[in-house]
Amino acid sequence: MEANDAGADEALLLNAQGRLAEGAADNVFIIKDDVLCTPPVTEGALDGVTRHIVLGLAQDLGIKAEIKPLSPFDVYTADECFLTGTAAELITVATLDGRSVGQVNGQYFCQFNAAYKALIAKECP
């Protein structure tokens, strides 16, 4: 409801401890200092197929990935932020709470997006 009232396209949900869990229907990833980070499922993140694909793509692309608790501050200070989901695929995040978030369509997002699309084209011709 807060996201709708604010005119947002998506919402990031926090768990009871105030840490990042996920989007309303998507997993959240950030890039900080050349490392891909996403919350663990123990924080409330969905254990989604697309999430697993992106983590595998990180390994394929030689990008360090960490599954660790994240706070809203981590998103505010991220170099890049994007969401993943079966329907959404990969979508970049431009703002959170009216604040700009990192680089929109940054180099890492573009690498992951291209690799994801190539994998889907290969696996689902």
Categorize the per-residue pLDDT at 13 as very low, low, confident or very high, splitting at 50, 70 and 90: confident
CATH number at residue 111: 3.20.10.10
- Which phi and psi (to 5°) does residue 117 adopt? -60, -40
Residue 36 DSSP SS3: strand
Q: How many domains does the chain have?
A: 1
CB 37 within 8 A of CB 65: yes
Alpha carbons 27 and 41: distance in angstroms, whole number: 10
pLDDT, tens digit, 9 for 90 and up, residues 47-104? 989 999 999 999 999 999 999 999 999 999 999 999 999 888 999 998 888 888 888 9
Q: Say what percent of the chain tops pLDDT 90.
A: 70
Range of the domain at 106: 2-123
Stated pTM of the model: 0.91
